[in-house]
Amino acid sequence: MPTLRAPLATLLVITLLGLGTASLPSEPHLTPAASYLPRLVVRGGAPAAALLAHTPSASPHDSYRSTGPGIRFADRFRAGSVTKTFVATVVLQLAGEGRLGLSDPVERFLPGLIRGHGNDGRRITLRALLSHTSGLYDYTDDPSARPLSATAAVRTATAHHPAGAPGVFAYSNTNYAVLGLVVRSVTGHPYATEIRRRLLGPLHLDGTSLPGARTALPAPHGRAYSRDPVDGALADVTALDPRTAGAAGELISTLADLNRFYAALLGGRLLPPAQLAALLDTSAAHGSYGLGIFPQRLSCGVTVWGHNGLIAGSYVRAAATRDGRHTLTYRINTDTLAEAGTLEPALLEAEFCPA
């Protein structure tokens, strides 16, 4: 699975403590993960953290908790690479409509774009892009480049030799920059337009947006912080240019919207059965990743599906059971989290494997 290193921190990247809790007014129960939330602040060093869980039961309910100042239930925040699941869903819908095939080469839709330095779009399929098995160099790893369009991002990537062998899982934001261009080639519309038409509108995800060149977060929102790696000073990075992230990570959303999206996706409301099966097929990536979504098997035998997202000032993780009935999204308002390798799994275990 992608790690907290993630994908976009190098593009755009607290020791403020203070504990508090908040809940939905009608909430009758604490979610099992609520007790773990303060650890993200105390041990993880995040300024603030929040989570929203939807649990199935005889009386299904949503449970919201926050820890630390300046973070609220309705806040919009940058969701980073969670964008990839939205893009993958659109591509799979187009496959279900017969407008493209997952075995189609990129060259069919974007002739000549991926060429040079050992890169060849004639040999890279859409499935390879979706599953991060294309071998394409990750354009965000080039410290000298700040591409403001998908085409420029791909050119940055193809100026380098492939970073991995074809068929081997290697997470690369370039894959989704290319997929955004494929969506435009097939539909005649930008990927953001297709996401709005196919996903945001039908699901009433009113807090979710794709900002394009807009640098400000829509209201309501809190602040986003990044730590200087040299002196440890905090910087407010709430405003940023999201164009470098593009189809790989520009999404803005809310806790409630992300839970609703993953519940609908895994519940079979967005994709036909064949495309839903393809979404969850991890064979291309040898179990590490499906198509825009990844599994995490927990100690109790439950596997949760979802994605994480890291961009300057924000980290988010969305996870849900295979049927979409039990969902959890948590976020912090920074891009750094100490002990991430233990804190996040513990939180997921608490929620989906309660004693």
> Tens of pLDDT along 71-98?
999 999 999 999 999 999 999 999 999 9
pLDDT at 13 over 80: no
Between the alpha carbon of residue 206 and those of residues 93, 117, 218, the distances in Å are: 21, 43, 11
pLDDT at 123 over 60: yes
Position 247 scores a pLDDT of: 98
Position 27 scores a pLDDT of: 45
Strand pairing category for 225-227 and 303-311: unpaired
Query: Which spans in 215-339 are helix H?
Result: 255-266, 273-279
Enter the CATH code of domain 84-187: 1.20.58
Give the span between the Cα atoms of 214 and 313, in whole angstroms.
16
Give the span between the Cα atoms of 281 and 271, in whole angstroms.
14
> Tens of pLDDT along 205-263?
999 999 999 999 999 999 999 988 888 778 999 999 999 999 999 999 999 999 999 99
Q: What architecture is the 32-82+191-352 domain classified under in CATH? A: 3-Layer(aba) Sandwich (3.40)
Mean pLDDT over all residues of the chain? 91
Position 67 scores a pLDDT of: 96
> Tens of pLDDT along 319-347?
999 999 999 999 999 999 999 999 999 99
**Residues classed as catalytic:** 81
Please report where in the chains the tokens 């004639």 appear, as a residue. 122
Query: Which spans in the chain are helix H?
Result: 37-42, 83-96, 126-130, 150-158, 173-187, 191-195, 201-203, 255-266, 273-279, 340-352
Domain locations in the chain as residue ranges: 32-82+191-352, 84-187
Helix axes 173-187, 83-96, angle to 10 degrees: 40
In the chain, count H helices and then E strands.
Answer: 10, 12
In this prediction, residue 21 has a pLDDT band, given cuts at 50, 70 and 90, of: very low
Mean pLDDT across the stretch 51-66?
A: 85
Q: Which residue has the higher pLDDT, 178 or 234?
A: 178
Position 29 scores a pLDDT of: 58
Position 26 scores a pLDDT of: 40
pLDDT at 1 over 80: no
In this prediction, residue 4 has a pLDDT band, given cuts at 50, 70 and 90, of: very low
Position 57 scores a pLDDT of: 75
In this prediction, residue 60 has a pLDDT band, given cuts at 50, 70 and 90, of: low
Mean pLDDT across the stretch 175-182?
A: 98
